[in-house]
Structure 1
Amino acid sequence: MRLFLVRHGETHANVARQLDTAVPGLDLTDTGRQQARALAERLATEDLGAIYTSDLVRAQQTAAPLARALGLRVVVLPGLREIQAGDYEMSTEWGPFVDTVKRWREDPEHAIPGGDSGIGFMARYEAAIRRIAGDGHESAVAVSHGAAMRVWVAATAGLDPTWLEGRRLDNTLVLTLDGDPDAGWRLLAWGDEPVTHG
Structure 2
Amino acid sequence: MATVILVRHGRTTANASGMLAGRLTGVRLDETGRTQAAATGERLAAVPLRRLVTSPLVRCRQTAREILTRQDGTPAQLTDKALTECDYGDWQGQSLTTLAKEPLWRVVQSQPSAAAFPGGESMAAMQARAVAAVRRHDAAVADEHGPDAVWAVVSHGDIIKAVLADALGLHLDLFQRLHVDPASISIVRYTESRPYVLATNTHAGDLGWLAAAPKRRRGARRRRSDDAVVGGGAGPADEPA
TM range (shorter): 0.7 to 0.9
Q: Distance in 2 between the 1:25 and 1:100 partners?
A: 29
Contact kept in structure 2, 1:23 and 1:55, CA below 8 Å: no
**Where does residue 123 of structure 2 map in the other structure?**
118
Q: Distance in 1 between the 2:17 and 2:58 partners?
A: 17
Cα offset, 1:134, TM superposition: 2.8
Picking from 145, 153, 169, the partner of 2:156 is 145
Distance 1:25 1:82, change over 3 A: farther
Picking from 134, 140, 145, the partner of 1:135 is 140
Find the residue that maps to 1:191 and give its secondary structure.
Answer: strand
Q: Distance in 2 between the 1:191 and 1:147 partners?
A: 13
**Where does residue 80 of structure 1 map in the other structure?**
83
- The aligned runs of 1:49-64 (5 Å cut-off) are 49-64=50-65
Contact kept in structure 1, 2:188 and 2:195, CA below 8 Å: yes
**Where does residue 112 of structure 2 map in the other structure?**
104
Q: Which amino acid aligns with 1:64?
A: R
1:37-75 Cα deviation digits (max 9, x unpaired): 111110110131111110111001001021122233531
Contact kept in structure 1, 2:24 and 2:92, CA below 8 Å: no
Q: Structure 2, unaligned stretches of length 5 or more?
A: 143-148, 204-231, 233-241
Greater Cα offset, 10-19 or 110-119: 110-119
- TM-score normalised to structure 2 length: 0.69
Q: Distance in 1 between the 2:120 and 2:173 partners?
A: 26
Q: Which amino acid aligns with 1:85?
A: Y
1:74-128 Cα deviation digits (max 9, x unpaired): 31111111211111011113434653434234x3xx4211111133212321232
Find the residue that maps to 1:136 and give its secondary structure.
Answer: helix
Q: Distance in 2 between the 1:172 and 1:191 partners?
A: 9
Greater Cα offset, 51-60 or 135-144: 135-144
Distance 1:153 1:98, change over 3 A: farther
Identity, in percent, stands at: 29
**Where does residue 181 of structure 2 map in the other structure?**
170
1:5-43 Cα deviation digits (max 9, x unpaired): 011001000011111111535011111111111111101
Whose Rg is larger?
2
Count of residue correspondences: 190
Q: Following TM superposition, where does structure 1 have runs of at least 4 consecutive aligned residues deviating by more than 3 angstroms?
A: 96-102, 159-168
Q: Which amino acid aligns with 2:130?
A: Y
Distance 1:168 1:127, change over 3 A: closer
- Over the aligned positions, Cα root-mean-square deviation in angstroms equals 2.6
Contact kept in structure 1, 2:88 and 2:119, CA below 8 Å: yes
- TM-score normalised to structure 1 length: 0.83
Q: Which amino acid aligns with 2:91?
A: Y
Find the residue that maps to 1:186 and give its secondary structure.
Answer: strand
Find the residue that maps to 1:24 and give its secondary structure.
Answer: coil
